[in-house]
Amino acid sequence: MSSYSQTAKPAKKKQANAVQSAPCRKKGAEIVVDALEREGVEVVFGYPGGAIIDVFDMLNQSDKFQFILTRHEQGAMHMAEGYARATGKVGCVIVTSGPGATNTVTGLADAMMDSTPIVVISGQVASHLIGNDAFQEADVVGITRPVTKHNYLVKNIQELPQLLKNTFHIARTGRQGPALIDIPKDIQKQTLENYVYPSEPALPGYRIQTKPAAENVAKAWEMIYSSKRPLIYAGGGVINSNAADELFVLATKANIPVTTTLMGLGAFPETHPLSLHMLGMHGTVYANKAVQACDCLIAVGSRFDDRVTGKISEFAPHAKIIHMDIDPSSISKNVAVDVDLIGDVKEILTMLNPLAKRCDADEWLMQVEDWKKKHPLRYKKHGDSEEILPQELIEEINKAANDDAIVASEVGQHQMWAAQHFAFTRPRTWITSGGLGTMGFGFPAAIGAQRAFPGRQVILIAGDGSIQMNIQELATAAYYNLPVKVIILNNGWLGMVRQWQDLFYGKNYSATELTRPGGDGSPGDWKAAEYLPRFDILAQAYGCWGRSVSQRSELDGALKECLAAEGPAILEVKVSREENVYPMVPAGASLNQIMDGMA
């Protein structure tokens, strides 16, 4: 495998005036590069093309950032998301017009749903050709409007610097999210006299409330302190605002148990006695029981999505609800709240914590502890069988991983098993697609996280369905020597859909089997699988380490070998084929109807 890295390649310098504070002449393409430098961008992901070639002609003139050439624009988007989620910084993507830009749409929607700060710079056909069905023309602003916080089509060179400044500001402030700027080819070529990069955004109608009303903070604390069964429900907003320390202070000072959403994993250490782990559709029984029994629910940076609430009319029926969120439009959107605290979660908790003192909740905590003992996460172990159970595999990965490892996942059953059985103790160590549920997200996101932290261990937990949606990015990982460790839980199915077909559609497994069955044997028998892709050989073909195991006795050694591999690595683990994820709340059902079964 080549160890060649573009980071080691000395940047050529056509011009020395990439960063200037005095007015100067610059072409549109140079202004784009200058904006990237001034906004502190250290890495850009993307793919070139004719309508953005002038910007690419300038990209390798800068030594302030690295450009990562991906193998697909969707891969670039998810890499930028992984980078942004791991660092808290803006992820940046540059693509060309038409298909290059439309290939970013899934990533934009994903970033929008999960509040991830992304800036996309897209090339557009020349201004005079817009609307003419020109080669690789698409109405990118129209297409991406529903999946961005804001987008711009640049109409003249004079407005380019300010719109670039606005785009970065919108992406990184308030409820973070994706913003896009579409730059026609002729504007990239034009020259702006007296260019100065703006120091401030110009957004008269864009207001962000970072601090809540003080009286609401006092009212919220009175409600918490007077309750007998308080519960904190923490979401991804805690992580986005870097408020995990403040959340820990509130929970431990006031002695309140904490449950987290899928996006909130890592916001509160899951090894702490007050942790109830994840709630919702595949959350723990004790977390869901606590939600249904609490008399004060403190929602911190979360948005009451349907995977959390289940049947909304029966959600937290006894609770008064306090909602902390940066986005005013989220308040009482899905669930009516009693006290709203609009602002940055870190600011809110900083105001609330001085008021906090130990609540009279000992009886409540005893009840919660009783639920934890009676309803732990469990699965049916197979004794001396050589069959590998997916839950057991996740627990083995948890034991083998470094303390500061970043864990990414694809979307499906493996994602839920990872969320349940890996103990997350730090923020920004869990990267997954929560809102949109994008299969194909995880691998490029892991590569982005690895680029952000080259010296840390980055592990991707994938399914055999999801990994094949962006597996071409193996070339990116290998080319840039980004040593992501990919562990594929291969069950030969689109597992989560199969699980729904199993439980709710009479086992009618329609279009969910990824192996081709042949000969005798049941659908759940690996021996009946006639066709299987060889992920280990595929990894080797890309210049990566690869191995496949199917026996428990092989697992420990293979896992250690994978994690110790020098570069990118794939370990395919053939797991028990028809294992289901439990607990489970059926879609649309009340949290009280949780299925606490075992496979």
Catalytic positions, written as ranges: 73, 135-136, 185, 496
Tell me the HSE value of 489 on the side-chain side, using a 13 A CA sphere: 34
Residue 347 to residues 223, 238, 488, Cα–Cα distance (Å): 19, 11, 40
Give me the phi and psi of 165, to 5 degrees please: -60, -45
Q: Interhelix angle for 160-172 vs 28-38, to 10°?
A: 30
Surface-to-core class of residue 423, CB atoms within 10 Å of its CB (0-12 exposed, 13-18 middle, 19+ buried) = middle
Question: Among the residues of 227-323, which ranges form H helices?
Answer: 236-240, 244-254, 285-293, 306-309
Strand 529-531 to 516-517 pairing: antiparallel
Contact between residue 415 and residue 437 where contact means Cβ atoms under 8 Å apart: no
Tell me the HSE value of 142 on the side-chain side, using a 13 A CA sphere: 6
Strand 24-27 to 430-431 pairing: unpaired
Distance CA 149, CA 171 (A): 7
Residue 158 to residues 184, 193, 197, 339, 594, Cα–Cα distance (Å): 13, 9, 11, 46, 58
Distance CA 259, CA 268 (A): 8
- Where residue 331 falls (left for φ over 0; alpha for ψ -120 to 50; beta otherwise) is beta
Six-digit token string for 490: 């291969």
Contact between residue 417 and residue 378 where contact means Cβ atoms under 8 Å apart: no
In 203-318, DSSP assigns E strands to: 230-234, 258-260, 275-278, 296-300
Looking at the DSSP bridge assignments, the partners of residue 460 are 408, 486
Map tokens 């034991």 to a residue.
399
Tell me the HSE value of 586 on the side-chain side, using a 13 A CA sphere: 9
Contact between residue 113 and residue 119 where contact means Cβ atoms under 8 Å apart: no
Name the residue type at position 162.
Q
The b-or-e profile of 122-143 (16+ CB within 10 A means b, else e) is: bbbbbbebeeeebebbbebbeb
Closest CA to 367 of 233, 248, 231, 249: 231
Q: How many CB atoms neighbour CB 511 within 10 A?
A: 9
Looking at the DSSP bridge assignments, the partners of residue 27 are 191
